[in-house]
A and B are shown apart, each in its own frame.
Chain A
Amino acid sequence: MSRPKIARKSTNIDMTAMCDVAFLLLSFFILTTKFKPSEAVPVNTPNSVAAKVAPEKDIVMISLNNEGKVFISTGDGAADKDKKEQILQSINNSKGLGLTDAEIKALVKAPFIGVPFTQLAGQAKLPTEQMNAKLPGIPVQDSTNNQMIDWMRAVAEVYAGTKPNLLLKGDNVAKYPAFKNIITAFKKNDLMKFQMVTNPESVPSGTDLWKANMKGVKQEDL
């Protein structure tokens, strides 16, 4: 009995199919990557071991830049913009600023609010390119004129019942007093939970948290 002959096959594999898959995946990743939106206020955030990803919905973000200027902004979603309009309306009514509807619309469109109450009408007239870190910022410097308290009151009012994601994004070199004044504004309005935006950092080995992570305990449960 003779063994059936095995046909000798070429060792060359056709790479076309694999190439197709590779580039399909590549285009998928390129298209789904969200580019970091160019920020009007540059802020260098510090690093932390916090592993939780910053939320993107229902956010009220307070930026504290390197000069200690404070800016407030909301998320980009339609629901967040609605909330921003309500916040502005509330501020307008409670402070008697007399902003027109058109001015409020313009402020809703603006990437952030960065002026004292009296200058809000002025910021509404500015083109978007001129809204940058050169604006004076929201005054928080002293306890007599901490306008952040009023902003936070409006935020608490608008988000009554639901929980806003309060994000504080501070710059590395911002000083403590500005940070303290913002926290005071949170406390005054019973907004006791907030989150600080940071860059991820790995946990140093040998520490308690590292040991817990090795055991598979979640950071939040500790």
Chain B
Amino acid sequence: MAEMDTSSQGGGHKKGPGVKKGKKMSTRVDLTPMVDLGFLLITFFIFTTTMSQPTAMKLFLPKDTDKPEEQNKAKESGALTIMLGDKNHVYYYEGILDPAGANFKSSNFKDIRDVIINKKRSTDEKDFVVVIKPGDQSTYKNIIDILDEMSINVVKKYALVDISEGEAQLVKASDASAGS
């Protein structure tokens, strides 16, 4: 190791008698804090690089078909329809919508998970299907959130379907009554 001789022994010999010694300081610096700093920065960089990586969510679209025999039919008992309204409102009904709208229920993005889980637990896995109907006022974030719920709750069958006229009006009316 390159080390300076810092001992005062024999220092006088070289410079001869009568020459005053300058006070010699140790040239060794304690590098521990510097090492700490270095590793702190490394950790920081490692974390920030992996965090900012965007991820991708896959979506497979079904083929549009006009032939009724090729269309996938959802069993009424296993169907859960979720509608997305304005201002993050969520509405849902099970099975087929009652003409009077009796089974049309309101929810939000926090509670919809329980609704999905309950429905999933109470129906046969073969028949369980979630139909997602985003309204015209719903945002892209709403759609991603609800699709995310599908993957969070491991719903194997779900479909993105256009909202029907009657449902759109129900959603609109409920949005208006819920206020903002």
Interface of A with B (CB < 8 Å)?
A: 14-16, 18-19, 22-23, 25-26, 29-30, 33, 36, 45-55, 64, 167, 170-177, 179-180, 183, 186-187, 190, 192-201, 203-204, 207-210, 212, 219, 222
Contacts and interface: CB of A to CB of B under 8 A. Distances in A.
B151 A175 contact: no
Interface stretch (B8-16, B73-81, B137-145): B137-145
Nearest to A50: B57
Interface in B15-48: 30-32, 34-35, 38-39, 41-42, 45-46, 48
B141 A173 contact: yes
B34 to A, nearest CB: 5
B59 interface: yes
A73 B64 CA distance: 27
A25 B42 contact: yes
B81 to A, nearest CB: 16
Contact of A15 (B34, B49, B51, B147): B34
B136 A193 contact: no
A100 to B, nearest CB: 36
Identify the 4 closest CB pairs spanning chains A and B, nearest first.
Answer: A22-B38, A15-B31, A195-B56, A170-B140
Nearest to A68: B140
B35 A175 contact: no
B55 A48 contact: yes
Nearest to B145: A46
B63 to A, nearest CB: 7
Nearest to B133: A176
Contacts of B61: 183, 186-187, 192-194
B154 A222 contact: yes
A208 B154 CA distance: 6
Contacts of B32: 15
Given A30-B45, A209-B152, A53 B139 contact: no
Contacts of A49: 148, 151-152
Given A49-B151, A52-B55, A207-B152, A14 B1 contact: yes
A173 B153 contact: no
Nearest to A209: B152
B46 A176 contact: no
Nearest to A33: B49
The residue among B117, B134, B140 with the most chain A CB atoms within 10 A of its own CB is: B140
B139 A52 contact: no
Given A25-B42, A198-B54, 5 more contacts: A23-B38, A170-B140, A197-B55, A198-B55, A219-B151
B138 A176 contact: yes
20 contacts: A15-B32, A23-B38, A26-B41, A26-B42, A50-B58, A51-B55, A170-B140, A170-B144, A172-B141, A173-B140, A175-B139, A175-B140, A183-B61, A193-B59, A195-B58, A204-B113, A208-B152, A209-B153, A222-B151, A222-B156
